[in-house]
Structure 1
Amino acid sequence: MADDGIATKAPESDAQQTPAEQAEQSVFPGDSKAQEGPSMGEHCTADRPTPTGEIPTGEMSKLGGIDVYIAKPSDYPHSPSKFLLLLTGGTGVKSTNNQLQADKYASEGYLVVMPDQFEGDPAPNSVDMTKIEEQPSWLEQVKLKTAEGIKSFLIDMWLARHTPEKVLPLLHKVIEGAKEEFADAVASGGGIYGVGYCFGAKYILILAGEHPDTVAFGQGDPKNEEQGAIKKEPLIRAGAVAHGTMVTKEDLEAVKSPVYIACVENDPLFPEDEVLTPGRRAMEKNGVEHEIQTFAGVPHGFAVLGDYDDPKIKQSQVQAFGQMLGWIQAH
C-alpha cells in the first residue's frame, strides 16, 4: 500500500451523481452492474487548476476517422518510440490538463494518442463551488441543491449516451488507424500500451481482456461459439489505470495482459468488496501479472494532472505517474 493513513474527503471526491440505468448495464451477459451507488464524481467532470506556466505541445488530428490528440517525443521519428493509448476521464480530449498528461508520457519516449471517446460531447461541467460562500445562506443552499440536481440529471443522460456499445467501436477505429499510421511505434514496443484514468480506466481494462468478438467491439450480447463468436485476445500489451469508475468485477476477471491499478482507499467509485477483491482473486487464479496499489489520504481523481494545494496529494500524483510509467516501461 502506498500509505496506511485514512483517506480524506475532498470536494473532488464528492459523488454528485447516480448513473443512469442504461449506463449501469454491461455488455457482458450476466455481469453485475458497475456498482451500486455513485459512478461519477466531481473529479470526473471538472479539471483541477492547470499547473502554472505549462502549455500543451501536441496537436489535434484524426486517426481512423476519430479526433485525437497526438503527443510525440521530441526526437521522433529519428529515434524509436513505443505507442501509448491514453484514455481520459469525462473532461475529454480538449482538456488542457489531459493534453499535458499526454505530453508527459511523450517526454518519456512514447508516441501518445489520446482519442475523443465522447465524439465532441465531454461530461457536463461541474457546479462552481467557489461561488458558494463557506456558510451559504438559505437561498444559496437552495440554488446549490437545484444546480446539483440539474447536474446529476445531465450526468445520467450523458452516461446513457456513452456506453461500451458506443465507446468501444471508436477505440477500435483508433487502434486500427494507429497500426497503419504509426506502425513503427507499434512494432518498436511489440504492441500497443495503454493508460487510463477514471472513465477511461474501464476501457483500458476491457482492451487488456479476452472477450468474445461481439463484446470486444461493443456490439452487445455475444453469440455462442457455434454461431460464430470468437474470443479475441487482448488488444494492448500492458496497461496501467488509476481510480477507475464504473469498473465491474467481470472487467477484471477477463483481464489477460499485465495491469497496474492505482486505487484510492475506501473509494465508493471503485468499491473493494464488490469489484476490486473478486477481480484481484480472478487475476491471481488466472495467472495474470498485476499490481494493485492503494493510496490513502487522497481524493478519487488525484492522479489526473492538475494543481492541488495539499502537498500530500501533489506527492501522490507524482508517485502514481511514476508507478504507471514504470509499469509500461517494464513490459
Structure 2
Amino acid sequence: MMDEVSPKAPPAPTVETEVEARAEAPQPRMSDHCTNDTPLDASEVANGPYFLALKEIVKLADVDVYVSKPMDAVSGTPRLVLMLTGGTGVMAKTNQIQADCFAQEGYFVVMPDLEAEDVHLGDSAPNAAAVTAHTENADLLETIKFKAAEGIKGFIIDMWLARHTPENTMPIIETVLKAVKETYADKAYDSSMGILAVGYCFGAKYVLRLAATDEIAAGAIAHGLLISKEDIAGVKKPVTLACVENDMFFPDEVRDGGKKQLQDNNIDHELKVYPGVPHGFAVYGSYSEEHIKTAQKQAFDQFLEFLSKH
C-alpha cells in the first residue's frame, strides 16, 4: 500500500509574486497624467503667461500656497479663484502656469499645496520617473519583469492616495481658505463677490465638495479623479465639468449619472466631453498634437465663460 501523501501547503508569497499578482489586475486609481507634469516647450514658457502675472509662494497656516495676481490689478478689486491641483502639486511649473493663466484673465489666484501629510511637509504624488529610478536601484527588483515595476508604481500611488483622503485633505483647504480671507480679503481681492474654485484631477473632487457648501459661489473641474456619485449629488452651487471621453478615471456611469443628478436637483451646470485627449489635457502644456492644444484652450475658455457668469 502506498503511503498517503499529505497535501503541500501553498508556497509563501514572495515580493516577486505579490508584485506580479498586483500588476496583473489592479484597478487604475491615478494616471501618469495625474502624477507627471504635462510637456512644456521652453520657448512657449518664455513668452507665455508665466511672465504675465505677479506671483509668489507664501506660508498660510503652515501650508505652502502659490499666489498669482494680475500685473495691472487695482488693489482689492479682482475676484478670488481657489485652484486645487492634481498629484503633481503646487511646485509643478505646469500648475503654476495654469494659475497664472487665470491671473492673466483678471483673477486673484491662490493654489494651496494639497499633497502634504500633517499640514504640510511636502508629499507630492510619486511620478513614473521617480518610481522607475527606485526600482532600477533595488537589487531584488532587477530580476522582476517590467509589469512588476508597474505594479510597484501602482502600489506606491495607492499608498499615496490612502494618505490623501477627504478626511485629511478637506481640513487643509478649509484652513487655507480661512487664512486667505484673514490675509487678503478686500486688500488683494473683492470678498463681496464670492469665491470661485477650479480643480484638476485630484483637486476636482474637492471643488465638488466645496460646491456642496456655501464656501464658494461656483466651481469648475477638469478630468476629475476618484469622484463618487455622492460627491456630485451633494452639489448645490453652479458647476462646469470638462471631461475626457472614455476616461477610466472618471467612468461614464458616474459622469452620466452625475449629470442627471444635477438636472434633477435643478443645479446650474454644464458638462462637456472632449474626445481623443488624454486625462490631464486641460492643465497648461505644450502638446504637439493640434487637437489636444485646441481642446486645452476650449476647456480654459469653458471655465472662464462659466465662472464669469457666477
Q: Same fold (TM over 0.5)?
A: yes
Structure label with greater radius of gyration: 2
1:192 to 195, 199, 208: 195
1:288 deviation in Å?
A: 0.5
Corresponding residue for residue 4 of structure 1: none
2:245 to 250, 254, 265: 265
User: In structure 1, what is the Cα distance between the partners aligned to 2:206 and 2:111?
Assistant: 13
Corresponding residue for residue 39 of structure 1: 29
User: Which 4+ runs in 1 deviate beyond 2 A?
Assistant: 75-79, 127-131, 140-147, 185-189
Q: Does 1:66 align with 2:69?
A: no
1:242 to 222, 230, 236: 222
1:143 deviation in Å?
A: 5.1
User: In structure 2, what is the Cα distance between the partners aligned to 1:197 and 1:141?
Assistant: 37
Q: CA-to-partner distance for each residue in 1:134-163, whole Å, 9 max, x for gaps? A: xxxxxx996532321221111011111100
Corresponding residue for residue 280 of structure 1: 259
Q: Does 1:85 align with 2:64?
A: no
Quick check: 2:108–2:189 contact (8 Å CA) kept in 1? no
Greater mean deviation of Cα atoms: 46-55 or 140-149: 140-149
Q: Does 1:253 align with 2:256?
A: no
Letter paired with 2:220: A
Q: Cα–Cα, structure 1 residues 188 and 172, in superposed 2: closer, same or farther, change >3 Å?
A: closer
Aligned length: 266
Q: Cα–Cα, structure 1 residues 169 and 129, in superposed 2: closer, same or farther, change >3 Å?
A: closer
Q: Percent identity?
A: 50
Q: Cα–Cα, structure 1 residues 155 and 129, in superposed 2: closer, same or farther, change >3 Å?
A: closer
User: In structure 2, what is the Cα distance between the partners aligned to 1:300 and 1:50?
Assistant: 16
Q: Does 1:102 align with 2:81?
A: no
1:189 deviation in Å?
A: 5.6
User: In structure 1, what is the Cα distance between the partners aligned to 2:230 and 2:64?
Assistant: 29
Quick check: 1:127–1:147 contact (8 Å CA) kept in 2? no
**Structure 2: gaps (5+ residues):** 1-21, 117-121, 134-141
User: In structure 2, what is the Cα distance between the partners aligned to 1:50 and 1:115?
Assistant: 22
Larger RCO (alpha carbons 8 Å, 6+ apart): 1
2:170 to 150, 168, 193: 168
Quick check: 2:132–2:149 contact (8 Å CA) kept in 1? no
Quick check: 1:243–1:262 contact (8 Å CA) kept in 2? yes
User: In structure 1, what is the Cα distance between the partners aligned to 2:279 and 2:165?
Assistant: 21
- Given the two structures, how large is their TM-score scaled by the length of structure 1? 0.75
User: In structure 2, what is the Cα distance between the partners aligned to 1:171 and 1:297?
Assistant: 33
More helix by share: 2
- Given the two structures, how large is their TM-score scaled by the length of structure 2? 0.80
Q: Cα–Cα, structure 1 residues 141 and 41, in superposed 2: closer, same or farther, change >3 Å?
A: farther
1:282 deviation in Å?
A: 1.5
User: In structure 2, what is the Cα distance between the partners aligned to 1:189 and 1:323?
Assistant: 24
1:49 to 39, 45, 51: 39
User: In structure 2, what is the Cα distance between the partners aligned to 1:183 and 1:303?
Assistant: 29
2:73 to 55, 71, 76: 76
Letter paired with 1:190: M
1:196 deviation in Å?
A: 0.5
1:52 deviation in Å?
A: 2.2
User: In structure 1, what is the Cα distance between the partners aligned to 2:211 and 2:280?
Assistant: 21
Aligned pairs for 1:128-147 (under 5 A) are: 144-147=146-149
